[in-house]
Amino acid sequence: MKQTTNQCVYCGSQASTTLDHVPPKSFYPEPRPSNLITVPACLACNNSYGKDEEFFLATYMFSDAGVSPTGKKLWDQKLHRTFAKNRGLRRRIASLLRPVRLTTPSGIFLGRRIAIKQDEPNLAKVVEKIVRGLYFFEYNERLDPAIKIVALFLRSEEDAVEPMKFNNQLHYGSREWPNVFEYRFNRTIEKPEDSMWIIRFFGRIVYWAISSNENEFLPIENPSDNSTVAG
């Protein structure tokens, strides 16, 4: 059913008084593109994810995304100031860093690196919000807040085996910004609330997300090791 744009696409219960960027405009280095995706949202929903979005961006800048061209621009333009000013964010990121031994699959020791033990729930929340925004943007329909969204960070080729089975069934996003934000998606005809998304941030960070109101539709499980090696 088509939705009117006077409702917030996230909560559905409040009037949309603002436009929310999907993903947040802070994910784009300057100069930002002129065709960023926006969706109607209430002020409360627009503002409620600010700290999680800041944490998402800061966390992945300690991965290999941080040494990508986009990551370097974001760091030079604003992130270094964010870390300098935000002591709480520095402490939060520091609590996730731990030394690890890096080895090849055959057991050859490659040295010691710093890994990030990720705060999965808060990182996934940002992806879930992005999926709701993208769903409205692509279909002009709002996902009911009761619809579940599960998101998994694909850390390795092994993690990508299952989503790649559906690769040929997914459409390219109506808009994309290579090395910043790209996505593919589709939904079922019988149950349009059942949808699948593969989202890439900064050319390096890939999430697989599924929306559904049925638990058995959600095959995603969190891996036992939720760390990613910093670049």
- Plot region of 111 (φ>0 → left; ψ -120 to 50 → alpha; else → beta): left
Give φ, ψ of 28 to 5 degrees.
-105, 130
pLDDT tens readout for residues 186-199: 999 999 999 999 99
Cβ neighbours of 217 (radius 10 Å):
16
Q: pTM here?
A: 0.83
In a domain, 150, yes or no: yes
In a domain, 7, yes or no: no
pLDDT tens readout for residues 131-169: 999 999 999 999 999 999 999 988 888 888 999 999 899
In a domain, 1, yes or no: no
pLDDT at 210: 95
Query: How many angstroms separate the CA atoms of 1 and 134, rounded?
Result: 16
In a domain, 186, yes or no: yes
In a domain, 11, yes or no: no
Q: Does residue 172 sit in helix, strand or coil?
A: strand
Number of domains observed in the structure of the chain: 1
Beta strands in 142-194 (DSSP E): 148-153, 171-172, 181-187
pLDDT tens readout for residues 65-96: 888 999 999 999 988 888 888 888 878 777 77
Pair 228, 156: CB distance under 8 Å: no
In a domain, 9, yes or no: no
Cβ neighbours of 158 (radius 10 Å):
9
Query: How many angstroms separate the CA atoms of 227 and 211, rounded?
Result: 24
